[in-house]
Amino acid sequence: MTSSAQLQLARVCGELVTAVAIARATIEHGGNPDLEALVERLRQLLDEIGAVPAAEQRALLPRLMGLAEEIEALGGTIDAERRRCREALAKGGASARAIAAYAKTDLN
């Protein structure tokens, strides 16, 4: 039997999956999502799930697994963006060193 609490939690879980997917897309397009707000929403969801009976918690497992997969994908996106930024900074540092070296020569 599905309780109203379970339906509400399933809805909130679905909304959080969507919010995480939007955050991932935002990062992929160079934006800066509010990850702290996502963490707070996740914390609230987990607190609410902890307050329902175990049978209802088990019924939410498929939705929670989907949320976990989306969060894992977000982590992968963040890692990829971090690598891209590190590479861009390294190229920028190499360019800056080359410019500094050129400035010290008699070629200019």
**Is residue 95 over pLDDT 90?**
no
Condensed to tens digits (0 to 9), the pLDDT of residues 18-60 reads 999 999 999 999 999 999 999 999 999 999 999 888 888 899 9
Q: Over the chain, what HEC string results?
A: CCCHHHHHHHHHHHHHHHHHHHHHHHHHCCCCCCHHHHHHHHHHHHHHHHCCCHHHHHHCHHHHHHHHHHHHHHHHHHHHHHHHHHHHHHHHHHHHHHHHHHHHCCCC
- Which band of pLDDT confidence, cut at 50, 70 and 90, is reported for residue 1? very low
pLDDT at residue number 71: 97
pLDDT at residue number 80: 94
